[in-house]
Amino acid sequence: MDSGSRKSETIPLATTNSSLELFKAMSHPVRLQIYQLLALKQHSVGNVCRLLNMKQHAVSQQLSLLRKAEIAGTRRSGRNVIYFVNNKRILAILDACVSKPLELRKKTVHVESPSEKEPKSYRDRL
């Protein structure tokens, strides 16, 4: 293989860094919870604070990281800043991450009580 063909196979650094930012942002449990809320409905910081029983500064810090990773976006509504999902492609990623391991686990576990049934996809968990 010559160096010319090898160069065309490499992934651009900007794409790699963007992917790393996405996975880094979604690796924190609180950010994942916030994303789950935003995937269902747009929310203000105050609503997210109430729903997660967290202080505003902690939620704002996590939302800031989601915005930096271009996962969440904002819009103004009067005095409030409303957050929403800016990157819907991540739903497919989370669906694959949650659904496939559950399918594998169900194949290895033969007994399952009705209360322990897992959702079919990530969206069903929301």
pLDDT averaged per 10 residues in sequence order, the chain, 126 residues? 54 63 83 89 95 95 91 92 86 69 52 48 52
Q: What is the pTM of this model?
A: 0.63
- Centre a 10 Å sphere on the Cβ of residue 35 and count the other Cβ atoms it contains: 24
DSSP class of residue 84?
A: E
Domains, the chain, ordered by start: 1-87 (1.10.10.10), 88-126 (no CATH)
Please provide the DSSP assignment of 11-69 as one string.
PPHHHHHHHHHHHHHHTSHHHHHHHHHHHHS-EEHHHHHHHHT--HHHHHHHHHHHHHT
